[in-house]
Amino acid sequence: MPYHQYDYIFALGLIFAFADSYGIGANDVANSFATSVGSRSLTLGQAVILAAILEFVGAVSAGARVTSTIRNNIIDINLFKEDPAVLMLGMLCALVGSSMWVLGATRLRFPVSTTHSIIGAIIGVGIAAGGTDAVKWGWKGNGLATVFASWAIAPLISGGFASVIYLITKFGIMERSNSTIIAIWSGPVFFFITTSILTMVIVYKGSPNLGLDKLSGQTTALAIVMTALVVAILAAIFWVPYVHARVVKGDYTLRWYHFFQGPLLWNRSPPEDAGLATAPDAVPDYYRGHHTLDAPEEIKRATDPEGVVHKKEAEGSESPSDDERAHPTQATPAKDPKRTIQGPWIYPRNLWILFRYVIPERIWHNATRDVASDQAVTSDEKDRERLRKMHSHAKQYSNKTEHCFSFVQVLTACTASFAHGSNDVSNAAGPLSTIYLIWSAGNFSGSRSPTPVWVLVFCSAALVIGLATYGYTIMSVLGNRITLHSPSRGYTMELGAATTVILASQLGLPVSTTQSIFGATVAVGICNGNLSTVNWKMCLWVLFGWILTVPCAGVIAGCLFGLVINAPRFGFSA
C-alpha cells in the first residue's frame, strides 16, 4: 500500500531530482562537451541536440547498473529496514544537498564532479543516520573504497588511452608532409574504431532493459565488428569523396546535403577561384582566437600580423565586447518599450514580458552563443598572457587536416554523450528511484529493486535542459583554457574518456566523467608539446573543486537530515 502520508516527500524528491539533473547538465555534461565545442567541431546548439538524443539512449538502455551502485552500495540501507520512510527522507536530503552544491558551483563557474556531489551527500546522510558504521567504507561489493579508487584511477586510465591514440595520430598523420591526404584515406579506419567502442557499450554484456546480456560471445563479437564495418564502408563511399572535394579541391560551395551524393562528388568541378587567397575558406578556422606565430601559412593568411584576430570575423560583423562576454548572464535592456520591465517584476505586465520575451530570448542566446570565443576572453591581463604563452607552446596544424578529424570527433562526442547518460544520470536517478519505490510499495524496497524507466527519462530530460540553458557557463572556463584544443586533439580526449566511463559503467562503478575527460585533456596537452602546454593553475583549481565537493555536499545533506529527523514536534495523546 502506498505511503500517501508521505506524498510530499515524493513530490519534493521530483523537484530536487530535477534540480540535481539540471545541475548535472549545466556542469558535468557541459564539462564533457567543452572539448568538442572548444575545438569548434560542434556548436553549442549541435551539442544540445546530440545530448538530447544520446543521453536519453544511454540512460535508458545502460544506466540501470550504475543506479544500483549509487542506491545500494554507499550506505547500509538495512539501517532503515524498520522504517523505510526514513530512507525516503534521507534520499531527499541527499538530492537537496547535491543539487544545492552543484547549482551553486555552476553559478560561480566552478567545474565540479556531480558524482562526487551525490556520493558525498549520501555519505553525509548515512553518518547522520547511523554514524560512520552506516557507510560501506570497504572494498567488498563495490563499497566506497572501490568508488574512491576509481576516482584516482579513472584520470590515469583515461589519460593513458587518450595519449596512445593521440601519439599515433600525431606521428602517423599530423606530423607528415601529406597529412591531409593521409587523414582522408585513413578516415574509415577511425570511424571503424570509434563505432566499435560505441557498439561495445550497447552490446557487450548487454543492457538488462534490452535483454542483450543473453547474447552469446560469438554473437556479441560479430555484432560489434559488423556494425563498425558497415559504418566504415559508408564512410569510404560517402565521407571520403565529400571531404576530398571540400579539403583538396577547395570547393567552398559544397553544402551538407551534398554528402549524400557520395561517389558523384569525384566528378564535381570546384569553382574557378577555389584554393586562391581571394576565395572564401572551404574549411573553418579551428584555431580562431588562439593563433600563434608558428601557425601554418593557411592559418597566418587569415590573421592579422600578430596572428591573433581573424579578419573575416572582424569584417562586417559585430562581436560582443569583453565586458559582455565576462558577464554573459547580465540581461541587455530591451529597446522596445513594450518589452521593458517597469516597476517590480511581480506585476502581471512584467510577468508577461518576462515569459513572452526576456526568458525565451535569453535561452536562445545562451543556446547559440560562441563558447569557443568565450574561452579566449578574460578581463585579467595576467590570465590573458598565461593563455597566450600556453598556446604558443602547442603546435598548430593545417586546418584542412583538422577538418577531417572534426567529423570523427562528432562521433566521439556521441560516444561520450552515450557514456555519460549510462553513467552519470544515476547521480539523480538513484536517490529518486529509492524514494519512488518505497513510496509506491509502502515497504522496504530491498537491494535488488529495478530502476523504473520513467525515472531515467525524467532525469535525462532535466539534464538536457540544463545543458541547453546554462551549460555555456562551465564551457566558457574550460576547453582552451586548460590546453589548446582542435579536432585532432579533441577526438582523442573524448575517445579516451568515453572508453574509461564505458568500462566503469559495465562494472557498475560510478566514476566521474569530469575526472575522465580531465585526465584525457591533460595527457593530450602534454603529448602535444611539453608541460608548458597545460594551464596548471586551472588544473589546480579543478582539483581543489574535487576535494571540496564531497565534504560540502555531505555537510549540507547530513545537517539537513539531522535537523529534520531530530526536530522537536508536538505530541498528541489518543
Nearest to 23 by CA among 154, 155, 151, 118: 118
- pLDDT value for 275: 78
Most confident of 243-247, 360-364, 480-484: 243-247
Residue 239 CA to residue 222 CA, distance in Å, equals 24
Here the cell at position 564 is: 529534520
Nearest to 506 by CA among 205, 223, 60, 224: 205
Residue 109's contacts (CB-CB under 8 Å, 6 or more residues apart) are 473, 474, 476, 477
CA distances from 507 to 99, 499, 500 (A): 26, 13, 11
pLDDT in tens, 499-540: 887 777 667 666 777 788 889 999 999 998 778 888 888 888
Following DSSP, what letter does each residue of 345-387 receive, concatenated?
TTSHHHHHHIIIIIHHHHHHHHHHS-HHHHTT--S-HHHHHHH
Radius of gyration of the CA atoms of the chain, in A: 25
pLDDT in tens, 112-148: 888 889 888 989 998 998 888 888 777 665 567 776 7
Max Cα–Cα distance, the chain, nearest Å: 95
Under 8 Å between Cβ of 261 and 286: no
Here the cell at position 415 is: 560516444
Task: Identify residue 414 by its one-letter amino acid code.
Answer: C
pLDDT in tens, 421-477: 776 777 888 889 888 988 888 766 555 566 788 888 898 889 888 888 888 888 877
Under 8 Å between Cβ of 158 and 520: yes
Under 8 Å between Cβ of 343 and 334: no
pLDDT in tens, 68-99: 656 557 777 777 877 888 888 999 999 999 99
| 303 strand-pairing partners | 310
Here the cell at position 299 is: 592559418
Residue 512's contacts (CB-CB under 8 Å, 6 or more residues apart) are 113, 114, 115, 116, 151, 154, 546
pLDDT in tens, 452-466: 888 888 988 898 888
pLDDT in tens, 204-242: 544 555 566 677 778 888 888 999 999 999 999 999 999
Q: How many CB atoms lie within 10 A of CB 392?
A: 19
- pLDDT value for 93: 95
Residue 99's contacts (CB-CB under 8 Å, 6 or more residues apart) are 16, 19, 20, 22, 23
Residue 126's contacts (CB-CB under 8 Å, 6 or more residues apart) are 74, 75, 76, 79, 90, 134, 135
Where do the domains of the chain lie? Answer: 4-273+391-565
pLDDT confidence tier of residue 317, bands split at 50, 70 and 90? very low
- pLDDT value for 333: 47
Q: How many CB atoms lie within 10 A of CB 540?
A: 10
Is 0.75 surpassed by the pTM of this model?
yes
Question: Looking at the predicted structure, is the pLDDT value of residue 32 above 80?
Answer: no
- pLDDT value for 411: 85
Question: Looking at the predicted structure, is the pLDDT value of residue 319 above 50?
Answer: no
Most confident of 109-123, 278-292, 338-352, 546-560: 546-560
| 75 strand-pairing partners | 135
Residue 237 CA to residue 233 CA, distance in Å, equals 6
